[in-house]
C-alpha cells in the first residue's frame, strides 16, 4: 500500500511539473548580462518541519529578495500537492490568494528593487493522508533571466 501511495504521489508530482513548465508565462524581458535586470535572491530553499501527526498543520516562511535594479515579477505559483498550499505576502502586508496544485495561476505581483516578499508554505497532511517521510514542493516563476523558476521544498515525518 505504501509503495502504491508513493507511486501515485510521484506521478502527480511529475504531472504537476509538466503542467507548470508548459504554462509558464514569465518570459524575462532582460538578458543575463543586463546590469539593470531583476535578481531573485533566496537564501533558504528547503526546510524540515520535523515529526508531525496527520492531523497537524505546520508552516514555514521563505523569503524572496529583489537584489536587482528593476522590478521583479512573481507569478505561476504552484504546489506539488493539494495538501500543501502557499501565500505570497509582500512587504506592505498585501497577501496573495491561496495557491495549491490546482487552481487559477493567473495572479502575479511585483517586488521593487531592495524589497522582499514572504513565501508562506503550509502543509496539512490530513488533506491527502500519507505517513512516513514526505517531501512537498512550491514553484514560483520570475522574470529574473538567471532564476526563471524558484523552487522551495519542505520535508516532514508524518506519524501514523
User: Are the CB atoms for 32 and 139 separated by under 8 Å?
Assistant: no
Grid cell at residue 127? 488533506
pLDDT at 33 over 90: no
Give the three-state DSSP class for 26.
coil
How far apart are the C-alpha atoms of 5 and 131, rounded to whole Å?
A: 10
Mean pLDDT of 50-66: 98
pLDDT digits (tens, 9 = 90+) for 110-143: 999 999 999 999 999 999 999 999 999 999 999 9
Please name the residues in contact with 72: beta carbons below 8 A apart, sequence gap of 6 or more: 38, 39, 40, 64, 66, 110, 111, 112, 113, 142, 143, 144
How far apart are the C-alpha atoms of 24 and 149, rounded to whole Å?
A: 9
Top-level class of domain 2-159 = mainly beta
Give the three-state DSSP class for 18.
helix
Amino acid at each position: 500500500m505504501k509503495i502504491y501511495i508513493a507511486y501515485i504521489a510521484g506521478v502527480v508530482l511529475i504531472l504537476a511539473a509538466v503542467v507548470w513548465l508548459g504554462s509558464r508565462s514569465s518570459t524575462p524581458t532582460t538578458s543575463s548580462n543586463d546590469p539593470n535586470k531583476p535578481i531573485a535572491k533566496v537564501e533558504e530553499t528547503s526546510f524540515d518541519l520535523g515529526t508531525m501527526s496527520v492531523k497537524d498543520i505546520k508552516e514555514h516562511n521563505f523569503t524572496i529578495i529583489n537584489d536587482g535594479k528593476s522590478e521583479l515579477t512573481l507569478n505561476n505559483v504552484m504546489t506539488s500537492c493539494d495538501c500543501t498550499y502557499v501565500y505570497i505576502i509582500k512587504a506592505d502586508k498585501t497577501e496573495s490568494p491561496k495557491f495549491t496544485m490546482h487552481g487559477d495561476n493567473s495572479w502575479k505581483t511585483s517586488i521593487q528593487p531592495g524589497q522582499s516578499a514572504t513565501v508562506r508554505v503550509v502543509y496539512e497532511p490530513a488533506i491527502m493522508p500519507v505517513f512516513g517521510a514526505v517531501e512537498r514542493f512550491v514553484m514560483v516563476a520570475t522574470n529574473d533571466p538567471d532564476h526563471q523558476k524558484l523552487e522551495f521544498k519542505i520535508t516532514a515525518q508524518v506519524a501514523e
